[in-house]
Structure 1
Amino acid sequence: MSKLEHLLQQAARAERLSKAILDTLTVERLQLFASQCRAQAKTLEIEQQTGSPSQQVRSAA
């Protein structure tokens, strides 16, 4: 399984779980995790299409 597939599966799993849970804090965290996974998957997909890794900025400290 590729990293892209893994991220999309994790996002889908988190979204399914968030619908079955009553605790609002947990639901919010699951939805945030799902959106982060989808954002990473989108970045990875763009990198694969362009053939270049994205530029990551690191702090000087």
Structure 2
Amino acid sequence: WQLTATKAGRQTLRDKGTYVILRELHRWEREPDVLAACEKVIQVLIGDEPSPGMENLLE
């Protein structure tokens, strides 16, 4: 989750195909907490980038 905080981290995860892996994990995972975490990361990866000045999602 922390890797999605910065623009560079999000881009690295996209470049490495993380979305595809999480999508497949989400298909068979049954643990609600794991599903929720997958959904959060997927939303960040497929969503629009934040506006300038808001690139760090932890601030």
Q: Distance in 1 between matches of 2:37 and 2:20?
A: 14
Alignment of 1:1-61 (within 5 A): 3=11, 6-7=13-14, 9-39=17-47, 42-43=48-49, 54-57=51-54
C-alpha RMSD of the superposition: 2.5
Between the two proteins, the alignment pairs up a number of residues equal to 43
Name the amino acid aligned to 2:14.
L
Structure 2 residue matching 1:25: 3-state secondary structure: helix
Q: Distance in 2 between matches of 1:11 and 1:34?
A: 6
Q: Distance in 1 between matches of 2:35 and 2:24?
A: 10
Name the amino acid aligned to 2:33.
L
Runs of at least 4 residues of structure 1 off by over 3 A?
Answer: none
- Bigger fraction of residues in helix: 1
Give the fraction of aligned pairs with identical amino acids, expressed as a percent.
5
- Give the TM-score normalised by the residue count of structure 2: 0.53
Unaligned runs of 5+ in 2: 1-10
Structure 2 residue matching 1:56: 3-state secondary structure: coil
Q: Check the 8 A contact 1:18/1:27 in 2, yes or no.
A: yes
